[in-house]
């Protein structure tokens, strides 16, 4: 009886494994959604540096009894500039928006807010990027919905446009209020 070489079988096994992973990935409910490790968990602790003269974002603010947003942003981030009008609109509508400036020069960050407006209820600077790691940040901009108990209920990675605000962010805020 002829013996089959393992080198002939190995490519077939590798191909089968990869095909299985691809099929499983396509079967997900929303293949574009990023996994949220913090979903349903209490917000990670914060250790932020002050930025400007506004109130410094601290842990207790995220556990105060209302739904709020946490927005990671940077002055060097073009999509952050594009989403800024939506962040301002959310803040103007009465939704507290807390800002975390990510790995940015403080003078540039403050100039960004002076130019475009400061929509943040409180703010802090994550100069080291340590807080971003704790939150599971993929990149800026990234916005988290936090419920009244201080639990992360939703994350949106990327710039919030007017259509995304209507179709995604506002419905997620309403869900978090229930």
- Residues of the chain with pLDDT > 90: what percent? 71
55 pLDDT more than 70: yes
Extract long-range pairs of 154-163: CB within 8 Å, 24+ residues apart: 154/36, 154/39, 155/34, 155/36, 155/38, 155/39, 157/34, 158/79, 159/79, 159/80, 159/82, 159/83, 159/86, 160/83, 160/86, 160/87, 161/82, 161/83, 161/86, 162/86
> 141-164: per-residue pLDDT in tens?
999 999 999 999 999 999 999 999
Band of the pLDDT at 8, cuts 50, 70, 90? confident
Domains of the chain: 37-177 (3.40.30.10)
> 84-113: per-residue pLDDT in tens?
999 999 999 999 999 999 999 999 999 999
């Amino acid at each position: 009886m002829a013996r089959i070489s393992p080198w002939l079988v190995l490519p077939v096994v590798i191909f089968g494994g990869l095909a299985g992973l691809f099929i499983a990935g396509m079967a997900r409910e929303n293949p574009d959604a990023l996994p949220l490790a913090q979903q349903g968990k209490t917000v990670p602790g914060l250790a932020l540096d002050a930025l400007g003269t506004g109130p410094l974002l601290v842990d207790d603010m995220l556990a105060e009894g209302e739904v709020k947003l946490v927005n990671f942003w940077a002055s060097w981030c073009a999509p952050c500039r594009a989403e800024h009008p939506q962040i301002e609109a959310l803040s103007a509508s009465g939704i507290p928006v807390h800002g975390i400036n990510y790995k940015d020069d403080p003078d540039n960050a403050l100039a960004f807010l002076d130019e475009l407006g400061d929509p943040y209820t409180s703010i802090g600077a994550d100069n080291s990027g340590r807080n971003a790691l704790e939150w599971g940040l993929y990149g800026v901009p990234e916005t988290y919905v936090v419920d009244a108990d201080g639990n992360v209920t939703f994350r949106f990675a990327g710039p919030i446009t007017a259509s995304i605000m209507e179709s995604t962010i506002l419905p997620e805020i309403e869900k978090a209020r229930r």
